[in-house]
Structures are given as structure tokens and as C-alpha cells.
């Protein structure tokens, strides 16, 4: 199972055809696929580039640490919410784990 990022043109398809779940920090859109692909979208409304990149790095690392056993094939698109700005890494990690578990029982 290969891991990669979602190409920019595919985001629209994931949002339109995929299922979504949310918690206080993130929204996850999921579209089943053969390979595991992941992307993170953080709006400019959440802060300057350093803040947005910090959120993005935390979500990517939390997803990476889940490992292949917790993630079935599909495209995972995470969208950060305002509360993600103040969240610690542990809170983001818990949020990612919760969303993936709810999407892939």
C-alpha cells in the first residue's frame, strides 16, 4: 500500500464524492481508493504561514504514526478548524486518530 499526497485537482473530487466526519479541531473527508493518500488544508484565516505550517506538520505526523494497520486504502483530506491553532500536538494526534477510526471502523 503506497502512501502519498493527494494531487491538487483531486481535492474537489474527495470533497464532492467522499464522506466526512468532524471534531473540534479537524474535518476529515474520505474517499475509498487503492492507495493511501493524504492531504491537509489550512485556511489563511487561521494565521500566518508559520502557524499554518505548524498545524499541517502536526496533522501529517499524527497520520504517519497511525501506521498501515489503522488505515485502509483511500484518500484522506483533513481541513483544520480555528481551534487547531491553540491545540497541542497530543490533541491534534488524538483528533486525527479519532477521525480515522470513525471513518474506518
Distance CA 68, CA 78 (A): 18
Residue 103: per-residue pLDDT: 85
Return the pLDDT at 1: 40
CATH of domain 3-103: 3.30.230.10
Cβ-contact 62, 70 below 8 angstroms: no
The structural domains of the chain, with segments of one domain joined by +, span 3-103
pTM of the model: 0.89
Query: What DSSP assignment string belongs to 31-92?
Result: EE-SSEEEEEE--GGG-SHHHHHHHHHHHHHHHHHH-TTT--SEEEEEEE-GGGGT--HHHH
DSSP state at residue 8: T
Mean pLDDT by 10 residues, the chain (105 residues): 70 90 97 89 96 97 86 90 97 96 80
Amino acid at each position: 500500500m503506497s502512501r502519498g499526497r493527494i494531487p491538487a485537482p483531486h481535492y474537489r473530487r474527495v470533497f464532492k464524492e467522499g464522506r466526512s466526519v468532524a471534531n473540534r479541531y479537524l474535518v476529515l473527508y474520505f474517499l475509498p481508493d487503492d492507495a493511501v493518500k493524504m492531504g491537509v488544508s489550512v485556511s489563511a484565516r487561521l494565521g500566518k504561514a508559520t502557524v499554518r505550517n505548524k498545524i499541517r506538520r502536526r496533522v501529517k505526523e499524527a497520520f504517519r504514526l497511525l501506521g498501515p494497520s489503522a488505515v485502509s486504502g483511500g484518500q484522506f483530506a483533513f481541513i483544520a478548524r480555528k481551534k487547531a491553532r491553540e491545540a497541542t500536538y497530543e490533541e491534534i494526534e488524538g483528533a486525527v486518530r479519532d477521525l480515522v477510526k470513525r471513518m474506518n471502523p
